[in-house]
Structures are given as C-alpha cells and as structure tokens.
Structure 1
C-alpha cells in the first residue's frame, strides 16, 4: 500500500510544547472546539489555542470540574456534553448550531482507557462508543458549521497497535479484553480521520489523527500501580519513568495538527512528535502507524458502520 506516511522534517520533536508550536501563529477570529479540553493534554491544548487568540469552546461532561480547571482562562466557554450519550451529542450540536457560528478547529481530545467492561447506550462497549462513536456523531452533527480551511483532529494513540477494528464483534460480546477494546477504539480514531479527510477535502476541510505521546494524566485512572509499572509509565515507587512527556509536551502534536501551516494541503495522515509518522516497522516495535489503521477500504467500512449505529451521516 502506498502511503503519505513519511516525515516532513517539521523541526519540532518529542520535547516540543504546545506553546512552542503555536508561537507566532495568530488565531484571532478562529473558533475551536476541544473535547476533553479541561483535563490533561486537553487542558494544555485549550491553554495554547486561547493564548494564541482563538475562542475555544470546551464541551464538558463534568461541568463543575471543568469550571474549576478553566477558571481565569480568557476566550474560553463551556458547553455540556457526554460523548457516551448520543442524545447529549445531539443537544450540544443543536445548541451550537443555533448560535450561528462557524468552526475552524475541532480537536477530539476526550477519551477513556482500559476500563473494566462497561456498556453504554444500546449495549455498546464504552471505549468504542465514547472515543469513536461519540466523536463521529458530534462532527457529523456539527458539519454544516465547519468553515473552508477548517481542520479536524482525531486524538488516537500508539494504543492502536493493540489491534484493528473487530467488525464481527465491535462490542466484545465474545469476551472482553480492556486493552484490545482500547486498541480498537484508537484504531477507529485514525480510520475516522482517514475517511473524513477523503470526504471533506473538496470542501477545504482536512483531517488528521495522532499519537500525543506517553503522558501520565487522569486517563490512567482505571489502572492500578502494578499495571502502570508493567506499562513502563512509573517505577516501583510510583515515580514517572524517563521518556514520558509532560502534559504541555503531550498537547503539542494536536495543536500542531490543528494550526501548523506546515500541514497545508495535507490530510488523512497519522502524526506523532509533531511530524507525520512513518509506517510501523515489521518487527512489531510500537512506533509509527499500522497499515490497518490507515487502510482506506477499512476506513470507508468503519464510516458506513458508524453511520448505521449512530443514525448520523452528514455526507
């Protein structure tokens, strides 16, 4: 499979912060929506975009927590949204549409990871439903508001290496594995960007997916100490191990994806460390992007299934 997955030499890297990638970029007059924009790398994304002049809308499931985290921020407003509840997604989208505003940047940063078996909606596996279907429905419901030149950023992770989308058992009804379910959801995040970019590029809207890096945030709340040790995120004493990014560094790639002129004319690719990622090596090393995550046929198949499940398709 030929691929556009090759580094472009951005000049940035794993240690770059969100503030550094947006330095010199004026976002005055731009409107951004950042799901999860009040916690972890989402919070740092909101901070960087707002500091550059963007007006940032932060949909929040935990409104009181969001209000506390964003106290003192300028150019930021809160909305109410639970990505696991499609009725909540519809309500948020309708309220936004009624405001008559356009969208320039959309960053789907909210997510859950490796939780015990949980069902939402009509029995959907929670990680797939929240991380993928919720964002799928939200972007489609908001579609009429996207302005030409807008970018959609789907925050995936290196977790997509855990496995592809299991089309014959999306909800893991034949046996639940929290890491395989997480891997499926993160693969879905990449495939979503691949097909959205194909559908939207003629309208001047481009889409990207990315791995933000290894960051110790509230995302790991469902893991115990030993699981974090086994994953190499902390040592036996609970201290963060070398190679982990700070939240400011973890937010950099998604801010770069949303704002960098270096990506003008590009789209449908997976990024890491503020550059386009290379294809994953054949030796199984968890770096780069797996073929099944950028396969256009699988991306189209997932889009069709997602539209059937959510009842929403702007295209």
Structure 2
C-alpha cells in the first residue's frame, strides 16, 4: 500500500459542497473533460468548473439531449462518445487532440451500476468495460494533451462499493464464475482506484497526477437498474419516499457529492501528491478488510503491485498503451 494514503486534515468534510472547495480558484484558460457531464454529479462538476473560468468538453452518448439539459451553459462544448465502443472512444480522443488544446483536468464520472449481465463485442463484462476499460483507454489516448498541460489532474470516480470485491484477475469478465451484479460493480470500482494509482506512477514525471474518489451515496440516474424497493433497502429514501439527505452517514446532495472530485481536480493542498483514494474532500485512510468502519480504502484497492498487475491486464484487454 502507498505511504501517501494518509489524511491531510483538509478542513473539509461530508457536508462540504463543490462550490465551497472551488471558491477562490481561477481556472481561466484551462480545459476540462468530464464524462457523464450532462447529468447528476457530472453536471454539477461542469457547472462549478465553468463557473471558475474553465472550458468544459462533455462527451456523451446523446449530444442533442445533453445540449437541452445544459440549457446553453457557457464555456461548454458537447461531443459524442460511446464508452462501450473502443472505436468511438478513439474517435472522440482524436477529435480533441486535433483541436490542439492541452487538457488540464480529466474527470471520469460516467458509469453504470449493478446492471444485468451483458458483454461488449470484444467479450468484456459491461460494468468492467464502461467503468474501467473505457476510462483506461480514453486516458491513454488523451495522454499527449494531459502531458502538454504540464500540470494536469485525472480523477476517477470509484466508490465505497470497492469493498464488495477485490479484482478477480483469473475471471474478470465472469466467463467462468456466476454473474452477480454487485460483485461486478465492486470489482470495477476497485479497478478505478488501482487505475489511478498506476496512472499516477506513470504520469508524475510529466506533471500528470491521478486520484480516485468516493463521492458519497447520491440518488442519481446511476441507480436506474435498481427497483424502488432495492433503493429503499439501502436506507436511501425517507418516510415520504424522497431521497434521504444525511451527509454524516454518506447520503449526500449532488452538490456535496461532486465536492471530492472537484477538490481532487483543483486543490493546491494536493500539489505534489497523487495516486490516492479520497473521500469527504480528504485523502482516505487504509482500512483492513476486517475493519467494520465504512470509510477508507481497502488494501486490495491501494496496493501498488496489484495496480501494476491490473495495468498490464488492461493493456492486454484494450490493446492500448500509454504514450508516456
């Protein structure tokens, strides 16, 4: 495990909003890409980044729908991408690179959760493909623009769900073991944390730092594969059937949920740091598997050796290398 995985005492916490962590930060002249930036947490991230002066590029499946949702938000460009399609990822990255813009911030916010069993054309389990292999491929393709920025940050949205499952290197695509939606989701969230660790190791010399984030438990479109009874079973609804807001117990508003990613993307307190898993706008402690506390990162999601093993596997699964 990395010695950097130690809380800073940032002064923030579960009630902190994205607006609060970005206060006083000027992003004029900087460019950010936010996948999933037209809804939920991603939309809030785009709102505060552009409010601080950044230009935001939002790659989405349905560009027209995204433009309607964004309602003419300034400093936002919408492009298309299909995260389950490697060719679509490559095409988006090629379009961005051809613009000549450097890339200061890359936030991987898009994802799917606890979905039914499905495989991509390449044979990869869909949650692994969309939540990990797509961000891996996109980051590798965009790395020249990240490197050109001299100081860039990549933020990958992980989850406390990483506690559900380590990464199964023997059967990542559920070709042999029975498929369980939450196990697949947990594996993909472990992969997000290990990916940030591996990327930071490779990017540091180029000024590219990487972070993984647990945003909190926020009821957004990510829960579209869950029934209302399943959502209620998590304690996410109040007595009136509305989303329960209780930040002290990880049930956050969208504004609070976007805060840790924005903190990782912009805070000067993280200068010189990277490869860490963060929550509640601070670096999270490592928690042993037997630890009953809900916060922190498990050893299997913060182990440099496992990160390197996953990096090699991801290269093989995607046929993609990082041009570092």
TM-score range relative to shorter protein: over 0.9
- 1:35 maps to 35
Provide structure 2 residue ranges, at least 5 long, that are not aligned to the other structure: none
**Distance in 1 separating the partners of 2:150 and 2:6:** 26
Contact 1:225 1:238 in 2 (8 A): no
Alignment of 1:56-135 (within 5 A): 56-135=56-135
- 1:202 maps to 205
Matched, 1:269 2:269: no
Residue 9 of structure 2 aligns to a residue whose secondary structure is coil
**Distance in 1 separating the partners of 2:293 and 2:208:** 33
Contact 2:79 2:92 in 1 (8 A): yes
Match of 1:178 among 177, 181, 193: 181
- 1:169 maps to 171
Provide structure 1 residue ranges, at least 5 long, that are not aligned to the other structure: none
Root mean square deviation of aligned Cα: 1.2
Matched, 1:312 2:320: yes
> Comparing 159-168 with 284-293, which one deviates more in the overlay?
284-293
Matched, 1:230 2:258: no
Matched, 1:294 2:296: no
Residue 151 of structure 2 aligns to a residue whose secondary structure is strand
**Distance in 1 separating the partners of 2:272 and 2:220:** 33
| TM-fit CA distance, 1:242 | 4.2
| Superposition TM-score, scaled by structure 2 size | 0.95
Residue 278 of structure 2 aligns to a residue whose secondary structure is strand
| TM-fit CA distance, 1:286 | 2.5
Contact 1:79 1:92 in 2 (8 A): yes
> Comparing 157-166 with 236-245, which one deviates more in the overlay?
236-245
| TM-fit CA distance, 1:148 | 1.2
Match of 1:280 among 275, 287, 311: 287
- The CA deviation string for residues 107-129 of structure 1, in whole angstroms up to 9 with x for no partner, is 00001000111111222110000
Contact 1:84 1:130 in 2 (8 A): yes
Residue 210 of structure 1 aligns to a residue whose secondary structure is strand
